[in-house]
Chains A and B, each alone.
Chain A
């Protein structure tokens, strides 16, 4: 099996230079080329779109087709799904660059907004058509708990952004080891 083409590693730091941030030595990491990263992102697109768009929209459409009003507008869920999928794929493609941290923050922030929207609508009352009863489910606590996850990844994104700003390429040998 052929190895994926890689980009040239960063040039060695100038030992005589006065700058404090020191990048990794050449040959310590191997970054997949843009083409390979775009291909990898495209491959991730399929399960992500299925998970973030296909499944939720499928469930909501199923409810609607059975006369049960969906708890959230389907168009909004589609929109959130597309935005999250695009951001996650972009984060993967831009991982070796300094755009990774901000994109990671963007993914986490968008997820938090998404969860907050669900949190605001976290009491769902299901009225069974042609039946004299209704079932209500409140999952506010679950959504609050789930919001911990993007909050943690948001913090990780901030830390990575700071790291990239202070010591560019420092993380590359650990993200893309030889």
Chain B
């Protein structure tokens, strides 16, 4: 390259100097890009306030698989500029004694930017084993709900909610009272009184059959009550059943079972004084 006597082009920096300079320049560019990107993500995330999540109508009923099923849905809109990825809800429910009843996960799903998604919620609370008390005892259930999601490729966000919800038992205060056997018309009979409150949000429709078991030996007798108890109503009914001659139910127990539309649940046994 020709040089003018009046102008000398500035000397070119050596390669090692240019390397260091470029490394510093690239670091500044990377920093600026990250700051701008994070600022955009934060600005975008703020738009979530325009979202109106809604919970669909919920139903609660006894299910065929010995559970109480609570079903609902959650609709979320994403008015932001980034997808909400791996959105997941976990529900953990403990009964009044602190025993775990349900551990359920909904999702994961991705809600695209500007889109919406409806997540079906279905909780099946077992009414056998540790869940059996739910049939005959109102209690406070502890709900732990966690929501997790990834946002803007760089952030994971979680939301945890702890709350208590009251549970109304379908056979609250269930008692099966066995009276004293009496002889009528050459046969022994005993009055059995069934009483409870249906504090659940669904009706008790079906048949409650019971069996009187003495302290030892074979069954004294059995019977059944036909139920159609609306939610929130008390029930009390007495009927006499025939019992085997000489059978003394004192010190024994009454076992019962409720059979409804597609369901069959065993109720907690009652001791006979």
Q: Are B153 and A152 in contact (CB under 8 A)?
A: no
Check if B217 is an interface residue, CB within 8 A of chain A. Answer: no
Within 8 A of B (CB), among A153-178: 153, 155-157, 159-160, 162-163, 166-167, 170-171, 173-174, 177
Question: 0/1 per residue, A129-161, Cβ < 8 Å to B?
Answer: 000111111111110011011101101110110
Check if B187 is an interface residue, CB within 8 A of chain A. Answer: no
Q: Are A173 and B31 in contact (CB under 8 A)?
A: no
Nearest neighbor of B18 in chain A, beta-carbon distance: A174
Number of A-B pairs, beta carbon distance below 8 Å: 85
Q: How many chain-B residues does the 8 Å CB contact rule pick out?
A: 28
In the complex, chain B residues whose CB is within 8 Å of the CB of A162: 16
Q: Are B19 and A145 in contact (CB under 8 A)?
A: no
Nearest neighbor of B156 in chain A, beta-carbon distance: A138
Check if B30 is an interface residue, CB within 8 A of chain A. Answer: yes
Q: Are A163 and B20 in contact (CB under 8 A)?
A: yes
Q: Are A167 and B162 in contact (CB under 8 A)?
A: no
Check if B160 is an interface residue, CB within 8 A of chain A. Answer: yes
In the complex, chain B residues whose CB is within 8 Å of the CB of A134: 159-160
Interface hit among B21-29, B49-57, B59-67? B21-29
With A134-B160, A171-B17 in contact, do A155 and B23 touch (Cβ < 8 Å)?
yes
Give Cα A133–Cα B145 distance, bound, in whole angstroms.
Answer: 9
On chain A, which size bracket covers the interface?
A: 20 to 34
Check if B7 is an interface residue, CB within 8 A of chain A. Answer: no
Nearest neighbor of B31 in chain A, beta-carbon distance: A149
With A156-B27, A159-B16, A162-B16 in contact, do A137 and B38 touch (Cβ < 8 Å)?
no
Q: Are B23 and A153 in contact (CB under 8 A)?
A: yes
In the complex, chain B residues whose CB is within 8 Å of the CB of A153: 23-24, 27
Give Cα A152–Cα B153 distance, bound, in whole angstroms.
Answer: 23
With A163-B17, A171-B17 in contact, do A156 and B157 touch (Cβ < 8 Å)?
no
Give Cα A166–Cα B154 distance, bound, in whole angstroms.
Answer: 42
Q: Are B24 and A141 in contact (CB under 8 A)?
A: no
With A145-B34, A145-B154, A153-B23 in contact, do A133 and B162 touch (Cβ < 8 Å)?
yes
CB distance from B64 to the nearest CB of A (A): 34
With A146-B34, A148-B30, A171-B17 in contact, do A159 and B23 touch (Cβ < 8 Å)?
yes
Nearest neighbor of A148 in chain B, beta-carbon distance: B30
Q: Are B161 and A133 in contact (CB under 8 A)?
A: yes
With A148-B30, A173-B11 in contact, do A160 and B20 touch (Cβ < 8 Å)?
yes
CB distance from B157 to the nearest CB of A (A): 6
CB distance from A54 to the nearest CB of B (A): 18
Question: 0/1 per residue, B151-193, Cβ < 8 Å to A?
Answer: 0011111111111000000000000000000000000000000
Give Cα A125–Cα B148 distance, bound, in whole angstroms.
Answer: 13
Partner of B17, one of A136, A146, A174: A174
Binding site for A on B (CB under 8 A): 10-11, 13-14, 16-17, 19-21, 23-24, 26-27, 30-31, 34, 38, 153-163
Binding site for B on A (CB under 8 A): 125, 132-142, 145-146, 148-150, 152-153, 155-157, 159-160, 162-163, 166-167, 170-171, 173-174, 177
Of the A-B pairs whose beta carbons lie under 8 Å apart in the complex, a sample of 6, sorted by A's number, is A136-B159, A137-B158, A138-B155, A152-B26, A159-B23, A171-B13
Q: Beyond A133-B159, A149-B34, A159-B23: 9 further Cβ-contacts under 8 Å?
A: A135-B157, A136-B157, A136-B159, A140-B156, A148-B30, A149-B30, A153-B24, A162-B16, A167-B16
The 5 closest A-B pairs by CB, nearest first: A156-B23, A152-B27, A136-B158, A138-B156, A159-B20
